[in-house]
Structure 1
Amino acid sequence: MSSKIALLCMAAMALAHPDRPAQNGYGYSAPSHPLSYAPPAPSYKTPEPSYSAPSYKAPSYEEKHEKGMPFDFSFEVQDEYKGLDFGHDSKSDGKVVNGEYNVLLPDGRTQIVTYTADHYNGYLADVKYEGEAKYPDPKPYKPSPSYGAPAPSYGAPAPAYGAPAPTYGKPKSLYGAPNH
């Protein structure tokens, strides 16, 4: 068996000739020797180190303002059922915005804000309150039960049987009359 394996190994080595030139595939020529590759010499010169200050331009933070569009709008909401009362009124000439908005606060007062806004002064607001704040009187906490007394879900049990009937007869005598 080992002689067969040795014979097969010799046949495989005979078929694989490393001295044969490789076939040209895809138009590439075979290297003269598998270990004959050498990297090409660099064709550039490495830069010399420089220790001067960086030469970049600092970013500029110049604000750019687009010309505004004139507008005029207003709205108002009054819903007595839900307790809503608010509105807004605003006008602009394209440069300055003037307006006012109001809202009914939960404490019963009305907050009125009158404002002016432009690119030079920013947002300037004047806040006023009308009315007096009203708070409800605090009530002591009394927890109420979230359930009632349990109601019976059944009635009294009814008998499902009658009086028992005897299942035996008169006993028989096992002995006779006594002999004297």
Structure 2
Amino acid sequence: MAKVAGDLKTPTDLASNATKSVADALNSVLADAFALYLKTKNFHWHVSGPHFRDYHELMDQQASEILAVTDDIAERVRKIGNTTLRSIGDIARRQTIADNDADFVTPQDMLAELRDDNLKLVQQIRAAREAAETAGDTATSSMADDWIDQAEKRAWFLFETGRGG
């Protein structure tokens, strides 16, 4: 018979204390994913210059990819019997990726900042994957591998796009 996790009574074979640590790590990833999504859209909206079209489209594509993964992360938290982020304030309290509210950012600085932020997200996902592996949560660990690959690919594209520019 399946165990029931937390107050939500979600059926799972994972221990509730293990799912709590995984959920905490995933909520940190989720907060950073939302922060990175909004920063990527911000730069998409404000990029200018000779490579406008290429940068504008690259950032839009990457923002869409980041937003898509947020639902997977939040649903995983819920599947293991925990709650997830509830507001912009909740995101702000948890995020480690810094906002950029500057009136003007050069395209090269945008690319470099997004590259570094994607690599920071990779670190957060790796920590969540480690928590999942410790908890015996192979599903989260497997999903994290895909999220890492996506973020590394975004960082690589940003690096190559900004190379020598």
Hey, which of these two has a bigger chunk of helix by percent?
Answer: 2
Which structure has the higher relative contact order (CA within 8 Å, separation 6+)? 2
TM tier relative to shorter chain: under 0.3
Higher strand fraction: Structure 1 or Structure 2? 1
Larger Rg: 1
| TM-score (norm. length: structure 2) | 0.16
